[in-house]
Amino acid sequence: MNLRKNLINSFKVLMLSSMVLASSQNLFAQDTSGKLPKHDQIEEQYTWNLKDIYKSEDLWEKDFANVEKTLPEYQKFVGKVGKSAKDLYELLKFDEKISITMDKLSLYAGLARDLDLGNSKYLALADRVSALSSKVASAGSFIRPELVAIPKTTLEKYFSEMKELQIYKQMFDNLYRTQSHTLSPELENVLALASPLMESPANTFSLFTGADIQYPTIIGENNKGEVKLSAGRYTAGLYSTDRAYRERVYRGFYKPYMEYENTLLSSFTGNIKALMFNAKARKYKSSREASLDPNNVPLSVYDNLVNTVNANLKVLHRWCDLKKKILKLDDFHAYDTYVTLFPSVKKTYPYSAGKELVIKSLQPLGAEYQKALNLAFDSRWIDVYETENKRSGAYSSDDAYGVHPYVLLNYNDELSDVFTLAHEMGHNMHSYFTVTTQPFPYANYSIFVAEVASTANEAFLLDYLIQNASTKEEKLALIEKELNKITTTFFRQTRFAEFEQFVSEQMEAGVALTPEFLTKSYMDMYQKYWGPSMITDKEEGYTWARIPHFYYNFYVYQYATSYAASQAIFEKIKKEGQPAIDKFLTFLKSGSSKYPIEVLKDAGVDMNSPEPIIAVVDRMNQLMDEMEKLLNEK
């Protein structure tokens, strides 16, 4: 049982927020036939050095065998965990040793697999680790119940008797904090057995929207040919400068969601019912409270975000008016919100250039950050290019204690790839500073703060690009990019969070959720956010039926809070310099040694305050001021 990840509920996950499917193959990686190269054909400097985890696969096998051999030793601790300080300490250190080895085994197998998803050898390695993880979890399943059973007074006595135990105080505080929501072993087992049933609505939605749903065929861009719609073509189509095509894409894409509203209603409401069941079983007042409590995030943080955004929606209304004016439209619809205002600006960014841009843009973070960043770039922590059977998208790897994190890219020389690089290096540096600073129990960080470092990096990169733009048009395009980022990452995710809260509270109050009720409710909320210049079509109301985030268990608000926190940190570093840098580095190094709200406070950001939310609003107004100024220049 990995106490660090399972007790604290504050873990590092693979961050796929910047995952994109490339619209074309990597020019660097193509051979003359247009095929992607195999991974071993890429220059070594652009590939991972997995020997930093294991020098040889024989050593991996040795560790694997040692864990299997050692598992029966868990039995010697059964019934003895709380008997004495010595017994408790020995159990914790034994479990840590197993967990550290399992993390290394998992990291190596997972990374090797992702480089070639067609390689059966590494697929088998990953499957073996997964199976072994289940055995470890089973062998250590007695630990949590026995830990919870230790009286606090007894634990305090153990802390005074053995100073080595004191490092675990925060871990035990979190354990006892959730004690009232921990059920008897029998009931916990019932909830575990019910878990597949509770996941069924989300699985049904995923399968239906990912495999079964059929999108219509529409007339193509500029009335040329025909296009069968898909999720990817929908996203790409909304960026088209052909407005009639955008509208066809938009209305066509929503058509099956409207046709299958009752099927989708079943999965949507089924998911809410599953959350309500879990909340009631664990004695929480609401599904929202049950979802936020594992990370010890108070409901006031969620409320502060939604309420402060609602009080400042005029900034989004202004952006709507400005886009409508620049596009010279008589009316403005949802399918007009993504199209670029400055389509003539196009540049390519080879990886070497993109890397230098990231390094230069992050110089304001100081010498210590730069040293770690250059270490990552120079030591093959990054697998850069798309190759045959390589996993798509981008991520910064899960942590393994004593090993640096890795970054996977599928770099394609686009500006978006440069931002993905900056984003993932933010995760990478956060993990690196955490793992090299904290002891094992706290060498991870809560998902509540997981996107702060990554989006802060994006803010520095965008600011650098804007300040160094070579033409007015390029500067305008970059300003638009940041405005769109605020719109999608901050306002859109807050709107999702507000809608998720609304429908959950309605069902908890006994209101019947019908397609008509959900559609009208979302339309009203969308209209409220975008303001009087927006014409909200009925199709937009069916967003409730197609967004997977509504199955993520009150997760999406964290996109907005992380973005707000990162922008506040960005502004503080620009204004204050080294004192703010020192606070940011403290944040990066804190891991889960404190609760996430407190960790952010150490960085100078209080997410219970309207200040970081208003900072985003102010930044958006500043950007629009600059855009209008540039547009008015002759």
d(CA 454, CA 475): 23
Q: In sequence order, what are the residues at sequence separation of 6 or more whose Cβ sits closer than 8 angstroms to the Cβ of residue 435?
A: 399, 401, 402, 403, 404, 405, 443
Q: Cα(619)–Cα(617) distance, rounded to whole angstroms?
A: 5
Q: Which helix (H) or strand (E) holds 324?
A: helix 314-327
Indicate the residue type of 231. A
> Rounded distance, CA 381 to CA 206, Å?
33
Residue 535 φ then ψ, to 5°: -100, 110
d(CA 96, CA 319): 51
Rounded CA separation 141/494 (Å):
38
- The Cα–Cα gap between 347 and 334 comes to 28
d(CA 426, CA 407): 10
Q: How far apart are CA 561 and CA 568, in angstroms?
A: 11
* Nearest C-alpha neighbor of 598 from the set 570, 567, 565: 565
Amino acid in the structure at residue 131: A
**Count of alpha carbons within 13 angstroms of residue 596, beta-carbon side:** 28
Type of residue found at 16: L
Cα 26 to chain centroid distance, Å, stands at: 25
DSSP letter at 513 equals -
Number of residues in the chain: 634
SS3 18: coil
- How many beta carbons lie within 10 A of that of residue 352, not counting itself? 8
Please report, for residues 16, 42, 110, 117, 138, the alpha-carbon distance to residue 113 in angstroms, rounded to integers and kept in the order given. 17, 17, 5, 6, 25
Distance of CA 99 to the CA centre of its chain: 24
C-alpha distance from residue 341 to each of 53, 233, 269, 491 (Å): 47, 20, 39, 20
The dihedral over CA atoms of 108, 113, 114, 116, expressed in degrees to the nearest 10, equals 140
The DSSP code for 331 is S
Count the helix, strand and coil residues of the chain and give each as a percent rounded to the nearest 5: 70, 5, 30
Active site residue 424: yes
**Catalytic one of 247, 424, 458, 480:** 424
Buried b (16+ CB within 10 A) or exposed e, 268-301: bbbbbebbbebbebbebebbbbbbbbbbbbeeeb
d(CA 114, CA 312): 43
Torsion angle, CA of 332/338/341/345, rounded to 10 degrees?
A: -170
Contacts of 552 (CB under 8 A, 6+ apart): none
Give kind and range of the element (H or E) at residue 383: strand 382-385
Rounded distance between C-alpha atoms, residue 527 and residue 601, angstroms: 34
User: Catalytic site residues?
Assistant: 424
